[in-house]
Amino acid sequence: MLEYIGATLLLIITPGPGVLSIAGVGSGYGFIAGQRFLWGLWLGNFLVGLAVIFGLKAVIFSVPYMPETLLGLSLAYLSYLAFKIAFAGSEIAFIKADRIPGFYDALTLQTINPKAYAVNATFFTTFNFWPEHFTEMILIKILIVNAIWIPVHFGWLYAGATLRKLNLPPFAQRVINIFMAVSMVIVVLLAVASQSSS
């Protein structure tokens, strides 16, 4: 079980669409807005986990072009979110964000994010530390995943929101927002590269 906890921690703390988007929303819009986004990410991740546990992932990904479609939707949404974070608080009228990313935005992101399916497949199909009690093992895994997922994501949100609360000059805040957005775009490009090489 200790190996499972360690692997879960590493998979969750590694920067990916979820942690980068929550840090970016915190930096661009603050802690309160970030909390709504965080709970949307959590529910989306939980639903993806259930899809893996009940075998729905295999059904979904067996549909022709479904993995590519989900990847495309996920990358498009991450690019859109990166754009909004980069220009959060911008006074340039045609790029000013009209709406802060919220609960349903995050929920959508997680349910179309192929990385969420891959990570949850690792969580729930490997490290069978109690195979003779499968149901209890899955429940323990759900508790472990959430016991790590929630504080790690709150930590990333807090880090992003702390940058915002430092009352940095507008230029410095813009640089931070653009850095967050560029990091998300890099994740997008890495996802495309890994998909095309597989």
For the segment 17-28, what is each residue's pLDDT rounded down to a tens digit?
A: 788 888 888 888
pTM of the model: 0.75
Output 113 or 184, whichever has higher pLDDT: 113
CA Rg, the chain, in Å? Answer: 17
C-beta of residue 137 within 8 angstroms of C-beta of residue 131: yes
Gap between the Cα atoms of 23 and 85, Å rounded: 10
Query: Do the beta carbons of residue 45 and residue 111 sit within 8 Å?
Result: no
pLDDT at 39 over 50: yes
Alpha helices in 100-169 (DSSP H): 103-111, 114-125, 134-165
**What is the residue extent of each domain of the chain?**
2-197
pLDDT of 152 reads: 93
The per-residue pLDDT for range 104-124, each reduced to its tens digit, is 989 988 888 877 888 888 888
Query: Average pLDDT in the 62-71 region?
Result: 82
**Cβ proximity of 19 and 156 under 8 Å:** yes
Q: How confident is the model at residue 99 (pLDDT cuts 50, 70, 90)?
A: confident
Residue 101 backbone zone (phi > 0: left; psi -120 to 50: alpha; other: beta): beta
